[in-house]
Amino acid sequence: MNAILNTAPSPADVRSQVSPEEWVLRVELAACYRMIAHLGWDDLVFTHISARVPGMDRHFLLNPYGLMFEEITASSLVKVDIDGNKVLPSPYDIIPAGYTIHSAVHEARDDAHCVMHLHTPEGVAVSCQKGGLRPISQTALYALASIAYHPYEGVALNAEEKPRLQADLGRKKMLILENHGLLTCGRTVADAFLAMFTLQRACEIQIMAQAGSGDLIGISDAILRGIGAQAKQSLGDSGANRVWPAIIRKMGRLDPSFRN
């Protein structure tokens, strides 16, 4: 067995050191990592999904560096403070470059309890296009209702980039990191996941449509201006809450070890 997996903390040991609320969050976040792997949106051991631990300490859960998303469990998640320092013993480290981006969002947005950042081929492809995400599908409209852009500044190791990323994101739920990838945030793991599903699917549709031989049909500006209200009317605030229980059930059927 992989030496890294052999050093994994005992689920019972971790559970005894955290609150019941944190354990529930750990299970949900581990399920989210597994779902991202199941959809083929992971990038070996790179990219991240972070979640704020309930409480006043501003601690966060992040994936252990060296585990693929399909291997992540509730107990293997690493708990860190806002500076990325481990606050619960763990044999695993985190990727500093990844946490630079996540900590920037968590610092600026009290409502961003979960932040998801991916390098999907379709997402990166759209992030390389000058026009960004185009209003050519209904799915794109849902994303365009709350999207922002941030220019590429190299590998995210420089803390000086954080204020600029924060300003570009503003109060939006979705961010296209130009020449880099996609980012979403939400009040819950479910919210961030549904936002990423929407943004990723919109990117997939755009790349597929652009591969065709015909001209693309754009959606009118009048419809685009009203998409915010339409999205809220069709999905409301409970859209993610309707999707997420089904995701948990699916992950349980595929491999319930994420709960460990």
Residues 92-147: tens digit of each pLDDT: 999 877 788 999 999 999 999 999 999 999 999 999 999 999 999 999 999 999 99
Least confident of 56-60, 89-93, 224-228: 224-228
pLDDT (0 to 100) of residue 233:
57
Give the residue carrying structure tokens 């609150």: 19
Helices (H), 128-188: 138-144, 162-169
Higher per-residue pLDDT: 173 or 221: 173
Helices (H), the chain: 3-6, 11-17, 20-38, 96-108, 121-127, 138-144, 162-169, 189-210, 221-225, 227-235, 239-254
Contact 4, 66 (CB under 8 A): yes
Average pLDDT, the chain: 90
